[in-house]
Chains A and B, each alone.
Chain A
Amino acid sequence: MIHLSEIHRAFRVGDDEVRALRNVSLDIAPGEYVSVMGPSGSGKSTLLNIIGLLDRPSSGLYRLDGEDVTALTPDRAAQVRREKIGFVFQFFHLVPRLTAAENVELPLMLAGTPVAERAPIVGRLLQEFGIAPRARHRPDQLSGGERQRVAIARAMVMHPAAILADEPTGNLDQTTGKEVLHLLEDLNTRGVALILVTHDPELGGRARRQVRMIDGEIHSDTGARP
């Protein structure tokens, strides 16, 4: 599904060129559970941004479901993100003035789904993630775990093929973090590819396939095919 080949990504910071990714090649099949680990600055977030079409490689090729998405126009990239990828962030990124239900509804709203069709979809997701009683609360009235569950519901609302989670438990206590991770893994067992970026070896170790990054390169990959 995801096919990265010889991806480079360099940033210019002042006079220095920072090479965030060097010659990264990675294939991820539909429904796979991959953790990307490495120290901070190793390029794992950059890799996730490139997979999520939030960033573009400086060179290399990226195919998503067979389509070359290396150099899409920004609007087409937005459309692909909307249809195929769900994001879960460390800081939740909920819109503070909207209720939990409205936050979950946002991708449907941007996609232009009719109002009548949205309510049942949102209702079902809130139910599924156990936040239905909190549907009318704003993010500042929710606990960290509830916020992250709202964010996951939002990521799932468009039925993405892959969930990209960047340190999804980084802002949660241990117990809540575990719960959130179980939730994501549960989604994975139902066929959604899960790509989990973390610096925590204990969390990353739960994935069937583990990719280790150091200095912008893939250092090891337990699932790499020859």
Chain B
Amino acid sequence: MRSADLGRFARRSLTAYRSRTLLIVLAMSIGVAAVLVLTSLGEGARAYVRNKLVSLGTNLLVIIPGRVESFGGGGGMMSGRTPRDLTLDDALALRRIRGVKHVVPINVVSGEVWWNGLRRDVPVIGSTDELPHLWGLHLAQGQFLPPQDPRRATPVCVIGWRVREELFGARSPLGEMVRIGDRRFRVTGILVRQGQLLGLDIDNLAIIPVASAQALFDLHSLLRIALEVNASEDVPFAKEEARRILRERHEGEEDVTLITEDAVASTADRILVALTLALGGIASISLAVAGILIMNVMLIAVSQRRSEIGLLKAIGASAGQIRAIFLAEAAMLSGAGGIAGTLLGQIGCWAIRRIYPELPAFTPVWAAVAALALALVTGIAFTILPARNAARLDPAMALARR
């Protein structure tokens, strides 16, 4: 029997038993669509989280004072020594590392901003002109801190959107003098309203030069130093160099902790890949259900078509040909279901993207291929038994019974 004939013969029986065909194609397509939509959701979530992490900067290296031990309790405390300060000079020393784009010293202290008898409690950030690059800050009006030697305590400040609302109302704060702690600062810029970043409310803070912050609040150590390198490949080198430089400056003591963001990102990525696979796996259960439906319908088809099978045998069909006829029908049914399901799944993903624009729910190619292949395999696998029953029918019996 030629394969073109096999295909035509199978197609004829699919069009002849229309409701049976539609039912199976529907079940199969729902299964395939479920796999596609759920894996796309997983992939979308992964892309979403990755985007968020990248916006923090995967090219980032953060140095905090004190050695964080993963076990054994705070080593410094146990040995009776307090960790050395992480100073502004330490930060300046890190500037000479190759591939480093920005070195940003950061202090965060809670303080008060006064203007014209009005007061607002805000976190006061001490940093440099490079902070906007690091945090992706944008100015609504005016200018950020001036580019200058970080050791200079210029009395200027930048305030968040809400601080400006609360203290100045409709008036322009640019050039006004506000009081932070017991010093006066000239407002040079206002930040764009942008909400939370790393648990910090960007709309409700004041930024002053790091040297001013240290003088104002009598600080000796930085909260952290953030290093941004040119490319993520530079991170390991910068990390080792920073470790070496700080060890030298701290008399051979390794008393800082270096954190890279890509470790966080890759862990999150792994978790979300596992989640995607789990979602796909759960969705494949619906494919198995579709497979069982195919088996049922095929078993019914075999008993309904007993006399036809008997006839085919009488006119010379081999057992293999009978099996092939039923398997070809199953392959066509599940193939059609797979294609319909792919379309349905894409419509579903499109709808998700419309409803949640933040979630890039696109079907990964591997999932599309796997869902289609799984549909075919399930359809054929669950037809093996009915097809074998058909092939084993006794032709004399099948023809005798009407």
Given the contacts A93-B307, A98-B12, A79 and B399 also touching, CB distance less than 8 Å? no
Please measure, in the bound complex, the distance between the C-alpha atom of A96 and the C-alpha atom of B15, giving whole angstroms: 12
Chain A residue nearest in CB terms to B308? A95
- B77 interface residue per 8 A CB criterion: no
Partner of B316, one of A89, A93, A95, A158: A158
Please measure, in the bound complex, the distance between the C-alpha atom of A54 and the C-alpha atom of B399, giving whole angstroms: 10
Please determine whether B316 and A97 come into contact, CB atoms closer than 8 angstroms.
no
Interface stretch of the complex, out of A33-41, A106-114, A119-127, A186-194: A106-114
**Interfacial chain A residues near B312, Cβ < 8 Å:** 106, 110
Please measure, in the bound complex, the distance between the C-alpha atom of A55 and the C-alpha atom of B399, giving whole angstroms: 11
**Interfacial chain A residues near B2, Cβ < 8 Å:** 109, 112, 114-115
Please measure, in the bound complex, the distance between the C-alpha atom of A189 and the C-alpha atom of B395, giving whole angstroms: 30
Please determine whether A78 and B399 come into contact, CB atoms closer than 8 angstroms.
no
A32 to chain B, nearest CB (A): 21
**Interfacial chain B residues near A111, Cβ < 8 Å:** 1, 316
**Interfacial chain B residues near A55, Cβ < 8 Å:** 394, 396
**Interfacial chain B residues near A87, Cβ < 8 Å:** 314-315
**Interfacial chain B residues near A154, Cβ < 8 Å:** 315
**Interfacial chain B residues near A83, Cβ < 8 Å:** 316
Residues of A in contact (CB 8 Å), total 30
Given the contacts A82-B316, A109-B9, A54 and B395 also touching, CB distance less than 8 Å? yes
- A49 interface residue per 8 A CB criterion: yes
Please determine whether B311 and A54 come into contact, CB atoms closer than 8 angstroms.
no
Please determine whether A110 and B1 come into contact, CB atoms closer than 8 angstroms.
yes
Chain B residue nearest in CB terms to A46? B396
- A209 interface residue per 8 A CB criterion: no
Given the contacts A49-B396, A93-B399, A109-B1, A75 and B319 also touching, CB distance less than 8 Å? yes
Please measure, in the bound complex, the distance between the C-alpha atom of A190 and the C-alpha atom of B312, giving whole angstroms: 26
Chain A residue nearest in CB terms to B17? A97
**A70-85, CB < 8 A from B:** 74-75, 78-79, 81-83
Q: Map CB proximity to A onto B1-24 as digits: 1 under 8 Å, 0 otherwise.
A: 110110001001101100000000
Please determine whether B316 and A91 come into contact, CB atoms closer than 8 angstroms.
no
Total cross-chain contacts (CB, 8 A):
73
**B85-114, CB < 8 A from A:** none
**Interfacial chain A residues near B313, Cβ < 8 Å:** 54, 78, 81
Please measure, in the bound complex, the distance between the C-alpha atom of A96 and the C-alpha atom of B16, giving whole angstroms: 9
Given the contacts A54-B313, A97-B16, A91 and B402 also touching, CB distance less than 8 Å? yes
Partner of B315, one of A91, A106, A112: A106
Please measure, in the bound complex, the distance between the C-alpha atom of A92 and the C-alpha atom of B15, giving whole angstroms: 23
Please determine whether A54 and B314 come into contact, CB atoms closer than 8 angstroms.
yes
Please measure, in the bound complex, the distance between the C-alpha atom of A97 and the C-alpha atom of B304, giving whole angstroms: 14
A175 to chain B, nearest CB (A): 24
Chain A residue nearest in CB terms to B6? A109
Given the contacts A54-B395, A97-B12, A110-B1, A78 and B311 also touching, CB distance less than 8 Å? no
Please measure, in the bound complex, the distance between the C-alpha atom of A78 and the C-alpha atom of B316, giving whole angstroms: 4
**Interfacial chain B residues near A75, Cβ < 8 Å:** 318-320
Chain B residue nearest in CB terms to A98? B12
Please measure, in the bound complex, the distance between the C-alpha atom of A198 and the C-alpha atom of B321, giving whole angstroms: 32
**Interfacial chain B residues near A89, Cβ < 8 Å:** 311, 399
- A45 interface residue per 8 A CB criterion: yes
Please determine whether B317 and A110 come into contact, CB atoms closer than 8 angstroms.
yes
Please determine whether A97 and B13 come into contact, CB atoms closer than 8 angstroms.
yes
Please determine whether B12 and A107 come into contact, CB atoms closer than 8 angstroms.
no
- A52 interface residue per 8 A CB criterion: yes
B352 to chain A, nearest CB (A): 41
Give the 5 A-B CB pairs with smallest separation, nearest first: A82-B316, A97-B16, A93-B311, A54-B396, A49-B396
Residues of B within 8 A of A (CB): 1-2, 4-5, 9, 12-13, 15-16, 307-308, 310-321, 394-396, 399-400, 402
Q: List 13 A-B contacts (CB under 8 A).
A: A49-B396, A54-B314, A75-B319, A75-B320, A78-B319, A81-B314, A81-B315, A91-B402, A98-B12, A109-B2, A110-B315, A110-B317, A114-B2
